[in-house]
Chain A
């Protein structure tokens, strides 16, 4: 593992020169609550390489989630520019931003965010119904090893199973990018590993770009690159020439 400069346009992933997925310049986010202003992001410049596994590390409030939400089109920057491939995201209307999410992005959250009134399969179907080139819900569930739990409701599943349904739901549309905010935060190590394996499998089989926020530094070992966030900026970027398998991660 070696440190790299923060402004490189192309990054090596597994030794291959890859295209850029996201490029951000001077990305700033200021939250105003009453009279106080919180600078969640302070002019961040970055690139996310297509097909890489990127881990975001840093203390709470350092700007990781804001970063993830903005590149995922859930939130808008206060200033700066952000492109996905050739698409300028900051110019998009709410409607088009939604279409961008629908077409390209899969989200996974710490607390699963499954719809309790829908079975595992129906939760995945929520996405396959509106995606342009989805795999079947059954296949997505099979990918995360939950083929036999398809007709169970979230309340009938364990935490790890629920998170794997969330992963299946995120990968079912075969997205270009998977954005994961603390996907293993609420899980024990064995279950966490299963979830990470599912993410890694999607990356391997579908070539998906995976961005993972975590507090668990061990998970950084499976990434190609690691962004270390501090005070609303990327303090350093660490490249990892030899990402390890999730099973090898010391929790």
Chain B
């Protein structure tokens, strides 16, 4: 090994604490990058392979009822590769001994195995056989959550009549990677499941002989999706087509895509913060190191080493740190990625999901580490390169202090000499002080921006479950009903209040913008449901015209006062122009609202009840649920309390698992920054500290010089940290938002406090560790060496 490389190795060893502190920050960037991009790629690879293997459709359509012959006509549309029709039927599932409203979505499958799209992957057992109408395949997640297995039996109320189903298979399908019943905010795998039954059996049970109500098809390469959707809509119009849609509007696909987008957002925000801090730290440490090694640099150059040999030597210091960080970060990234993949495997229904990271991800992560370290090293390295031997070997000019604004500040504040030492040192090295303040602020900001997601969830929980939805039960019906059904429900003992609600599928068109959504309505004086604005205020239903959610309005580029065209999808096709009455800020979905009268005008029928919202006497819950389950017209029941619990459970799980990582990652920055600042400060001021000791100052008083500066910089970083956190949080909230839902930006004041406390603790702990050096200060040795 060359002498210069030996020196590099020894320097690294000598400064191992500082080097490691930087490496950990850099490793956090690498780890986040590897983990988020790795999980992202793994999910996409898995999804695409799954879609391809099981022939997931490109376009989907629901209709009231169409003859099977429509499939052949759809197949003949130009650009359509394959088409397949099926029956999809919601049902209520009963478990003996449990009074829980459980819903199922039953899909028909061909008993002869002739299906070509959205194929079921069997985990166990077999598909339903011809002539065995009681056979069903159950989705794996639902089966696991409810302890169902092959040969198990469940009672299902399908289309108003009770059927006993025998489970012959456990499986999953690409159109149900994510499954959530309509109108629900969170998936609850124990209360909503996907079933598959033979076509003949389901035709019989739902009175749809040779008829279908769902269609999916694949496209030939290069076909325009929009054209085919239009053609399919035309074909399905007479059959109550609710409008065909592509993958991007498919619930399962969209939820997965939403998750993928969030992972991407994570990759875009967090690693850059860590990379920035690392570059700063490398800059500060290397500049100081080159400063102290001036004479050595001069000497080595005098021996005949080239400028670039010296430059390379110091760059090597930074690159060695990046090297350690890449390995450390990659290992941590793989480990964390595995954990997160396991969480995804629990909530998404994949037949296989392995965390595989392609080599380019590691290379890119390492490349970023090296780039950040190299960039940080640049300033110092160029100084070393430019230094001429003669200049380098003469002692550096003493640090010049001037009576600047800090001095005036000092006079005003009546500082002691120690106070002056602290303040003037900060002012003397503004870049380094700024790096420390910025670094700690970024750490606080990052922690805050992650922690406020919990506030966002809580706020969403509050708005959605406590203010917008106040019903105990939601009852959906097989078909829209007239108001008589409300009386029927109100007669059930224990039902306190019944309110109707209805949603109709429409396409809203404004200028060149068109969007499919649902218009919902309820009674004017509704007590069980409400529209809540982002600021928490109640938004009343407009007497005339539409109330649009902000997201929908933005999509349509419509403002209050504009007129939009509303086309009814499904059933009769009506079309009309309606004014936009006002806009409401909502977090979930992109919906429109109208009065019952307006809705009736759009729908053109006299059946105002799609869903009934019930308030019940809690003591009567079980008999009510039993009675609702037995009513033939009831399609399904959902319980607000259960959804709330589920949502709360998700928040709690997030708190326990993610908070640890947030705190660990943010602390890594704070510790890295404070440790390096304190070490540099100590080495720079060792001489002065020793002098103070000689003059009769106690170690604890001398430590104040060190801790005072760190404390001052840390305190200065607090407001900046809150500001950075506020900005980062808004950025991440925006990046995490999708068509499905948006996160409210509702940070609690206490969240700022917690972020600050965590970072302060990390800073104080680190500074305390370094300040122990003051107690070990060897005055004689320090003073013997000339400053």
Indicate if the CB atoms of B401 and A155 lie closer than 8 Å: yes
- The answer to whether B687 has its CB under 8 Å from any CB of chain A is yes
Q: Is the CB of B696 within 8 A of A115?
A: no
Is B77 an interface residue, CB under 8 A from the partner? no
**A170, closest chain B residue (CB):** B695
Give chain A interface residues in 26-77, CB to chain B under 8 Å: 65, 69, 72, 74-75
Instruction: Tell me if A98 and B698 are in contact (CB < 8 A).
Output: yes
If the complex has contacts A111-B787, A122-B420, A129-B417, are A116 and B699 also in contact, measured as CB distance less than 8 A? no
Please give, as numbers and ranges, the residues of chain B lying within 8 Å of A74 by CB-CB distance: 694, 779-780
Distance (whole angstroms) from the CB of B57 to the closest CB of chain A: 73
By beta carbon, the residue of chain A nearest B775 is A94
Q: Chain A residues with Cβ under 8 A from B784's Cβ? A: 65
Q: B692: which of A72, A109, A126, A151 is its contact (CB, 8 Å)? A: A126
Q: Restricting to B581-632, which residues have a CB under 8 Å from any CB of A?
A: none
For residue B421, CB closer than 8 A to chain A, the reply is yes
Q: Which of A112-142 contact B (CB under 8 A)?
A: 113-119, 122-123, 125-127, 129-131
Residues of B within 8 A of A22 (CB): none
Q: Which of A65, A98, A107, A118 is within 8 Å of B420, CB to CB?
A: A118
What is the bound-complex CA distance between A111 and B395, given in angstroms? 14
B40 within 8 A of A: no
Q: In the assembled complex, which residues on chain A have CB atoms less than 8 Å from the CB atom of B414?
A: none
B706 CB to closest chain A CB, in angstroms? 14
A101 vs B701: C-alpha distance when bound (angstroms):
15
Q: Is A118 a contact of B421 with CB atoms below 8 Å?
A: yes
B424 interfacial contact with A, CB 8 Å: yes
Task: Please measure, in the bound complex, the distance between the C-alpha atom of A148 and the C-alpha atom of B371, giving whole angstroms.
Answer: 53
| Residues of B contacting A123 in the complex (Cβ-Cβ under 8 angstroms) | 417
Q: Find chain B residues with CB under 8 A from A98 CB.
A: 693, 696-699
Q: Say yes or no for A153: interface residue by CB 8 A criterion.
A: yes
Q: List B454-488 residues whose CB lies under 8 Å from chain A.
A: none
Are A127 and B695 also in contact (CB < 8 A) when A69-B780, A111-B786, A122-B417 are? Answer: yes
- A5 in the interface (beta carbon within 8 A): no
B residues 396-419 touching A (CB-CB < 8 Å): 397-403, 416-418
Q: Which residue of A lies closest to B410 (CB)?
A: A122
Cβ of A2 < 8 Å from any Cβ of B?
no
Q: Closest residue to A98 on the B side, CB-wise?
A: B698
Among the listed A75, A95, A129, which residue makes an inter-chain contact with B780, where contact means beta carbons less than 8 Å apart?
A: A75
Q: Please measure, in the bound complex, the distance between the C-alpha atom of A10 and the C-alpha atom of B438, giving whole angstroms.
A: 64
Shortest beta-carbon distance from B703 to chain A in Å: 13
A208 to chain B, nearest CB (A): 16
Known: A155-B398, A155-B399. A107 touches B417 (CB 8 A): no
Pairwise interchain contact A113-B417, C-beta atoms closer than 8 A: no
CA distance A186 to B506 in the complex (A): 93
Inter-subunit contact A151/B403 (CB<8 Å): yes
For B696, give its contact among A69, A75, A99 (CB under 8 Å). Answer: A99
Closest chain A residue to B397 by CB distance? A155
B688 at the interface (CB under 8 A from A): yes
Please, which residue of chain A has its CB at the minimum distance from the CB of B692? Answer: A126
Q: List B contacts of A126 (CB < 8 A).
A: 417-418, 692, 695, 697
C-alpha spacing A108/B692, complex, angstroms: 13
C-alpha spacing A126/B416, complex, angstroms? 8
| A147 is an interface residue with CB less than 8 A from chain B | no
The answer on a CB contact under 8 Å between B401 and A153 is yes
| A124-179 at interface with B (beta carbon < 8 Å) | 125-127, 129-131, 151, 153-155, 169
Given A101-B694, A102-B696, A153 and B402 touching (CB < 8 A)? yes
Question: B696 → chain A, closest Cβ, in Å?
Answer: 3
Check B387 for interface membership: any CB of A closer than 8 A. Answer: no
For the complex, give the distance between the alpha carbons of A123 and B692 in Å: 10
Q: Which residues of the partner chain B approach A127 to less than 8 Å between Cβ atoms? A: 695-696
Q: Which residues of A contact B783 (CB under 8 A)?
A: 109, 113
Judge whether A117 and B696 touch: CB under 8 Å: no
Contact partners of B697 in chain A: CB under 8 A:
98, 102, 126, 130
Contacts of A153 in B (CB 8 A): 400-403
Q: Does A187 contact B (CB under 8 A)?
A: no
Chain A residues, CB < 8 A from B687: 113
Q: B573 at the A/B interface (Cβ < 8 Å)? A: no
* Interface check A103, CB cutoff 8 A: yes
Minimum CB–CB distance for A146 against chain B, Å: 17
B572 interface hit (Cβ, 8 Å): no
Give Cα distance in the complex from A101 to B425, angstroms. Answer: 27
* B420 adjacent to A101 (CB under 8 Å): no
Residues of chain A lying within 8 A (CB to CB) of residue B696: 98-99, 101-103, 105, 127, 130-131
Partner of B424, one of A111, A117, A151: A117
For residues 686 through 741 of chain B, which have their beta carbon under 8 Å from a beta carbon of chain A? 687-688, 691-699, 701
Give the complex CA separation of A119 and B693 in angstroms. Answer: 19
Residue pair A115, B400 in contact (C-beta under 8 Å): no
Smallest beta-carbon distance A26→chain B, Å = 21
Q: Which residues of B contact A129 (CB under 8 A)?
A: 416-417
For the complex, is B288 an interface residue (Cβ under 8 Å from A)? no
Q: Which of A113, A116, A131 contacts B694 (CB 8 A)?
A: A113
Question: Contact partner of A116 among B399, B403, B416, CB < 8 A?
Answer: B399
The 20 sampled A-B contact pairs (Cβ below 8 Å) are A65-B784, A69-B780, A72-B694, A94-B699, A99-B698, A103-B696, A109-B783, A115-B421, A115-B691, A116-B399, A117-B424, A117-B425, A125-B417, A126-B692, A126-B695, A127-B696, A129-B416, A129-B417, A130-B697, A153-B400
18 new A-B contacts, CB < 8 A, other than A127-B696, A155-B397, A169-B695, are A75-B780, A101-B694, A101-B696, A107-B694, A113-B694, A113-B783, A115-B417, A117-B401, A117-B420, A117-B424, A118-B420, A123-B417, A126-B417, A126-B695, A153-B403, A155-B398, A155-B399, A155-B400
Pairs of residues from A and B, 5 with the lowest C-beta to C-beta distance, nearest first: A102-B696, A117-B424, A113-B691, A101-B696, A126-B417
The residues of B with any CB-CB pair to A shorter than 8 Å are 397-403, 416-418, 420-421, 424-425, 428, 687-688, 691-699, 701, 779-780, 783-784, 786-787
